[in-house]
Chain A
Amino acid sequence: MKMLRNLKSRLRIAAATAAILLGLAPASAQIGDADRGAEVYNKQCKSCHMLGEDARNRVGPHLNGLFGRKAASIEGYRYSKDMQRAGADGLVWQAEQLDVYVTKPQALVTGTRMSFRGIKDSEKRADLIAFLRAYSDSPQDIPEAAPTADPTEHDVDPAILAIVGDPEYGEYLSGECTTCHQASGADQGIPSITGWPQEDFVVVMQAYKSKARPHPVMRMIAGRLSDEEIAGLAAYFEGVE
C-alpha cells in the first residue's frame, strides 16, 4: 500500500500540476480503476471466487461484503487453520490488507489454502481492489463503511502549496470549522476556536494531525490539512472576535 501510495502520489502530482496549468481544482484519486479491475478479476479470480447476486462459496469464499469483514468469518466455508487464527487475531479485510494478500497470499497468512501465485503489478492490484470494493457496503448508506479513495497527500501536493498563506483561503477553509465551532466564539459542548494566538492554534492542530491528541473528528479534520492550511486557519481565526 505504501508503494501504491507513493506511485499514486507521484501520478497525482503530475495530474495536479496539469490541473493548475488548466486552472482546475485537483482531484483526489480513486483506489484504482474498477473497469480494468473487472478484467483482472475475470482472468485471475473468478474461477474460485463468486461475486454479486446469488454468489455462494465455491473453491474460495464469495467476495460480497468483503471490506470490513473479519478474516475466516463466513459461516459454512471451510477455512485453513491459519486463516482462522488470523481472523481470531483480528485480521479485518480492508484495502491495505487485501493489497498485501493479493501480492502474495502466503506473505500475510502462511498456511492459507489459496494457491495463487499473486499479482506483482501494484496498479493491477489497485484496480482489482477498486473493482471488489463496489461489492461491499456503500458509505452513502452505511457511513462507517470502508473508504473508496486515498486521501490527497496535501503536504506534497503542489496544488495546495501554490496557495500558501492566502488569507482568503483560510477564510474559505474556516467554513468547515464553523459547521461545529461557532464563529461567535460560543463554546457550548464544542470549544471556541476564535481569538487564539496563532502559535497555540498551530500547536494544537499539529497535535491532532500527528494523532497525539485523541479526538477522532479533529484528527480526521487536521489530518487532511497541510501545514500551510493550518497556518492560514490560525491567522484567520486569530482575527475573529
Chain B
Amino acid sequence: MKLNRRTFIGTAAAATAALYAPNVLSQAAGRVVVIGGGTGGATAARYLAKDSKGALDVTLIEPTRTYYTCFFSNLYIGGFRDFASIGHNYGKLVSEYGVNVVHDWATGVDRDAKTVALAGGGSVPYDRLVISPGIDFVDGAVPGWDLSAQNTMPHAYKAGSQTQLLKSQLESMPEGGVFAMVAPPNPFRCPPGPYERICMAAHLLKEKNPTAKIMVIDPKPKFSKQALFQEGWDTHYSGMIEWIGPDFGGDKVEVRPDSMEVVVDGEAMKVDACNVIPKQKAGRIAELAGVTNDAGWAPVVPATFQSKADENIHVLGDASQQGDMPKSGFSANSQAKVAANAIRGALTGSKVFPAKFANTCWSLIDTNDGVKVGASYEATEEKVAKTDGFISQTGEDAALRKQTYEESLGWYAGITTDMFG
C-alpha cells in the first residue's frame, strides 16, 4: 500500500518550493526515508534535500510536531531558558527544502521489500533508510522503576513534558527537602548531562530552597568533566550536593515510586523529588528493524554509518555503536553530514569525501560559568576513533568561563539552524 500524498504535512508548501521540491512523479534518483526528527534525522534530511537539489526524494518520519532539544533542556530546569526556546518545528524543512515530513510513528521495517510501516496505516518505500531514533530505556535496569513510574519519578532524558515535570517537582519540594538522581551506567546519552542537571537543579534550589539537599546515586566510579563539576559544586553549591559512587553503594540502588523512597545498598531513604535515568539502548525501531546487537545498540560501518546488518540502512546518533564518539547532539549532527554525503554518493553518483567527525559538549555550572570538552574523530577500519581533543581546566578565570558559556549560546543557535533550516 502506497502512502497517500494527502497525508503528507505541508505538501502544498513543498510544491511552492521549486528549488528543492522533490520530484513527486518518482523520477528522482532515489528515495531516502529518515526515521526520527531529532539531531541526526533532521540534519540528515536537510542536508540530503539541500545538497541533492531535488535529485533525491526525502521523507522524514517523526511523530511529534514540536521537537524539544535534549541539549539545553537542563538550562530550562535551571531557569536559563524558557521552555518555548528549546522547541523547534519542521516547517522550514518542508517549505524551504522540500522534505516530505510525515507526523506518524514508524512501526516496522521490511528490509526485503524496503518499506517502512506507519502506525497510521500504509507504508513508505525507500532506496536508502536512515534510522535516527535516539534512545529507549532498558526494562528492569533500576529495580522498582519502569515507564509506568515516569510520572512520579521522571527520567527527563527525552526532552518535553518529562523535563517540565522534573522542574515542577523541584520547585514544589518542601523547604530543606531532598532531591535524588539515579545516574545511568555507560554508555548513555550525553555523558556530562546528568551532572550538568545537578548543577542546574542546585542553581534553582539555591534561589528558592537553599537548605535543600541533592543526592546523586551513581553506578560509575567516574564521569566526564568530573574535576570541573566537583570544583563547581564546591564553589557554587557548597554543602548541597552529595555524590554516592559505587564504593558507597551507588551501584546497588532500588526505587519505590509509591512511597517516594530510594534504597541505596539496603538503606531506604524518603525523598521529595527523584530523577531516575535508567540504563539505555537504541530506540525501539532500530531493534524492530533488526539492526541492533545483544547490547541493544546498532553497530555501523565507521566511514558511512551504514548498519553492519544491512547496507541500505544507516543508523545515526545515540542509537549507533560506532566507537569513540560520545552519544550527543553534536555527534549526531556530525555523523548525519557524513552519512548524507555517502547516501548522495551512492544514489546520485556525487563525490564522496573522507569522513571527518567532531564533537563538543558544553555544560553550564552556574550563571556565566560554562565549561566544555571536545574532540575530533576519524574513521578507521574498526571504529570511529578519537584523534585529538581538549577540555576546560579547573581554576579558569571568570572571563573565560563566561566566554565559554556565550559560545554555547552561539552553538545552540548554529546547530538548531543546521538541523531545521
Contacts and interface: CB of A to CB of B under 8 A. Distances in A.
Interface of A: 25-30, 137-152, 159-160, 163, 166, 168-169, 172-173, 175-176, 178-184, 186-190, 216-217, 219-221, 223-224
A28 B324 contact: no
Q: A141, A144, A168, A186 — which one has the most chain B CB atoms within 10 A of its CB?
A: A144
A179 B376 contact: no
A224 B378 CA distance: 10
Given A25-B303, A26-B354, A142-B191, A220 B326 contact: no
Q: Is the interface of A mostly helix, strand, loop or mixed?
A: loop
B374 interface: yes
Contact of A27 (B333, B353, B378, B415): B378
Contacts of A176: 334, 337, 356, 358
B381 A139 contact: no
Contact of A159 (B47, B350, B354, B415): B354
Contacts of B334: 176, 179
B186 A221 contact: no
B390 A216 contact: yes
B222 interface: yes
B418 to A, nearest CB: 5
A126 to B, nearest CB: 13
B327 interface: yes
Given A150-B387, A180-B415, A188-B410, A143 B378 contact: no
A172 B388 CA distance: 21
Q: A29, A173, A182, A184 — which one has the most chain B CB atoms within 10 A of its CB?
A: A182
B330 to A, nearest CB: 7
B247 to A, nearest CB: 13
Contacts of A166: 351
A152 to B, nearest CB: 6
B222 A149 contact: no
A149 B417 contact: no
A175 B333 CA distance: 9
27 contacts: A25-B352, A27-B378, A28-B385, A142-B191, A142-B224, A143-B373, A144-B391, A148-B385, A148-B386, A149-B378, A149-B385, A151-B378, A159-B354, A163-B353, A172-B337, A172-B341, A173-B353, A175-B337, A176-B337, A179-B333, A180-B407, A182-B410, A182-B413, A187-B410, A189-B406, A189-B410, A224-B388
Given A30-B385, A178-B418, A172 B353 contact: yes
Contacts of B379: 25, 27-28
Interface in B388-421: 388-391, 406-411, 413-415, 417-418
B414 A169 contact: no
B27 to A, nearest CB: 23
Contacts of A173: 353, 356
B70 to A, nearest CB: 16
A63 B39 CA distance: 38
A27 B303 contact: yes
A25 B381 contact: no
Contact of B359 (A30, A143, A146, A182): A143
B382 A30 contact: yes
A182 B407 CA distance: 12
A220 B388 contact: yes
A149 B411 CA distance: 27
Contacts of B406: 188-189
B187 interface: yes
Q: Is the interface of B mostly helix, strand, loop or mixed?
A: mixed
Contacts of B409: 188-189
B327 A140 contact: yes
Contact of B417 (A142, A147, A168, A184): A184
Given A28-B378, A142-B191, A143-B374, A223 B388 contact: yes
A24 to B, nearest CB: 8
Contacts of B361: 143
A147 B414 contact: no
A141 B226 CA distance: 12
A47 to B, nearest CB: 28
B378 A152 contact: yes
A82 to B, nearest CB: 27
B390 A217 contact: yes
Nearest to B221: A65
B355 interface: yes
A25 B411 contact: no
B380 A182 contact: no
Contact of B356 (A143, A168, A224): A224
Nearest to B374: A217
B411 A147 contact: no
Interface in B330-359: 330, 333-334, 337, 341, 350-356, 358-359
Contact of A29 (B47, B324, B337, B380): B380
A168 B333 CA distance: 20
Contacts of A168: 350-351
B203 interface: no
B149 to A, nearest CB: 26
Given A142-B223, A143-B375, 17 more contacts: A25-B355, A27-B378, A138-B186, A143-B389, A146-B386, A147-B375, A147-B386, A151-B378, A151-B388, A152-B354, A152-B378, A169-B353, A181-B410, A184-B417, A190-B414, A221-B376, A224-B356
